[in-house]
């Protein structure tokens, strides 16, 4: 009986904690989203300010990416992991699953941008090697990663972790 009720508590607690986490992450994300938009407004020169004929001199701005959020120390929250998205889900949706998927979604976007850079040869290895053990040029480090795990070989001082 007791084991049963604690299992229930876990089943209940996990999505609730996840939801609280997503709520906070989402608030920070929206705040950063506004800040980036403001910053871009200031930076983007108006047509009058450039004073040049034609549009050629107006540099096309690179789209906002998760790297812009990481630069602000903000976790990038993909659309499906946003609190606003989750509360709009239709009635009868498995919320536990939706929250789990949202957490996975965040983990994937974060992991997707990780590179391991060898401090000796400067080689950068992408985290996902599709389970193939991949060495850097000088063989001081190696990476073996896929969606379920990432293993890195070499001493801590042999590589740095790059997110982009």
> What is each CA distance from 100 to 93, 96, 105, 149, 160, in whole angstroms?
13, 6, 9, 17, 30
Q: Does 140 bind Zn ion (CB under 5 A)?
A: yes
For Zn ion, which residue of 99, 118, 125, 143 counts as binding (CB under 5 A)? 118
Binding-site member from 7, 9, 37, 121 for Zn ion (CB under 5 A): 121
Chain centroid to CA 136: how far?
25
- Determine if 125 is a binding residue for Zn ion (CB under 5 A): no
162 binds Zn ion (CB under 5 A): no
What is the distance between the alpha carbons of residues 21 and 106, in angstroms, rounded to a whole number?
Answer: 11
Pairing state between β 142-145 and 114-118: unpaired
User: Given the rule CB under 5 A, which of 32-40, 101-109, 110-118, 146-154 is the region that contacts Zn ion?
Assistant: 110-118
Chain residues that interact with Zn ion, rule: CB under 5 A? 118, 120-121, 123, 136, 138, 140
């Amino acid at each position: 009986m007791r084991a049963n009720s604690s299992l229930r508590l876990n089943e209940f607690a996990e999505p609730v904690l996840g939801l609280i986490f997503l709520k906070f992450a989402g608030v920070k994300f929206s705040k950063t989203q506004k800040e980036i938009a403001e910053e871009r407004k200031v930076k983007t020169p108006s047509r009058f300010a450039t004073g040049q004929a034609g549009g050629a001199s107006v540099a096309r701005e690179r789209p906002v990416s998760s790297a812009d959020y990481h630069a602000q120390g903000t976790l990038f929250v993909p659309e499906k992991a946003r609190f606003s998205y989750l509360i709009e889900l239709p009635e009868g949706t498995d919320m536990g699953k939706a929250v789990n998927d949202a957490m996975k979604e965040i983990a994937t976007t974060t992991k997707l941008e990780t590179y391991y850079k060898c401090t000796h040869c400067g080689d950068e290895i992408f985290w996902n090697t599709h389970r193939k053990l991949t060495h850097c040029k000088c063989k001081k480090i190696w990476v073996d990663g896929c969606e379920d795990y990432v293993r890195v070989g070499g001493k801590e001082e042999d590589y740095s972790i790059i997110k982009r």
